[in-house]
Chain A
Amino acid sequence: MGLYDIIFYLFAIITIASAVVVVNSKNIVHAAFSMLLTFFGVSGIYVLLGADFLAVVQIMVYVGGILILLLFGVMLTNKIVSVDIRSGSIQVIPAIIALGAFAAILFSIMTSTNWKSESFEIPTTTSVELGNLLMSQYVLIFELLAILLLVAMIGAASIARRDKE
């Protein structure tokens, strides 16, 4: 068991454990903060997979953007004054049954499939390569996504805007 493996298990445990907290925590704020941990874990896994650029983006966008957004959402939709920012769960048992079975199936498919897995050299940096691809082969998608973000921004603003009356 090398260092690589230990680090992997560490990140994996952090990710899954914090995700369990996210979906089970009664307190929304707690959930949001443990989600922070999840994102960190995932980011670590990216690093282990040699995706350094992605790991950074993950932290920047998710932690810096999405999570903050979610927290704002929580605060705007709950009475901050009352400390009791709690939220219950429904249909826990069927969900557990269903998703347990579902996970089991996914897992068994995964193990039973003979992946043609080959290990490659971990590239030192991916930024250059990604940049090249983005500006050549995927330039159209890149532009479209830019427009999409713009539209989403305007749309979100227009939806959330208070009506005048």
Chain B
Amino acid sequence: MEVGLNHFLTVSVALFSLGLYGVVTRKNAVMVLMGVELILNSANINFVAFSRFGNFGIDGQLYALFVIILAAAEAAIALAIVLNIYKTFVNVNIDEINNLKE
């Protein structure tokens, strides 16, 4: 079987699920961020793959580029928040930070 669109999408699916799994299960906030990065990467693969196999021109790559930029911004802000959380609660285990409750 020749490698085609579905193969790339499969990688993307796997990466997305793993990323979400990381977001859901990890206790450490930094780890959760890593999960998010994985999800973003999976999305990027989709963009590029469709740009390659669909008749959409090169715009898909451009969007992937934008996503990368946003990911950088997001990582910066998120880490700043994590640092703040650390300052307040002395740990970054989000399952213990449940002030949202009541």
Contacts and interface: CB of A to CB of B under 8 A. Distances in A.
- Touch between chains A and B, by CB atoms below 8 Å: yes
B45 A45 contact: yes
B36 to A, nearest CB: 11
Contact of A20 (B18, B29, B65, B95): B18
B18 A65 contact: no
A142 to B, nearest CB: 9
Interface string B58-96: 110110111011111111110111111011000111010
A49 B34 CA distance: 24
Contacts of B91: 77
Nearest to B44: A42
Contact of B30 (A19, A39, A74): A74
A120 B6 CA distance: 16
Contacts of B26: 23, 87, 89-90
Given A42-B41, A51-B48, A119 B80 contact: no
B15 A107 contact: no
A152 B82 CA distance: 15
Interface of B: 2-11, 13-22, 24-31, 33-35, 37-38, 41, 44-45, 48-49, 51-55, 58-59, 61-62, 64-66, 68-77, 79-84, 86-87, 91-93, 95
Interface of A: 2, 4-5, 8-9, 12, 15-16, 19-20, 22-23, 28, 31-32, 35, 38-39, 42, 45-46, 49-51, 53-54, 57-58, 61-62, 65-66, 69-70, 72-74, 76-77, 87-92, 95-96, 98-100, 102-103, 106-107, 110-111, 115-120, 122-123, 126, 129-130, 133-134, 138, 141, 145, 148-149, 152-153, 155-157, 159-160, 162
Given A42-B15, A54-B44, A74-B30, 12 more contacts: A4-B3, A19-B19, A22-B18, A28-B28, A58-B68, A61-B72, A73-B30, A100-B17, A129-B58, A130-B61, A145-B70, A159-B77
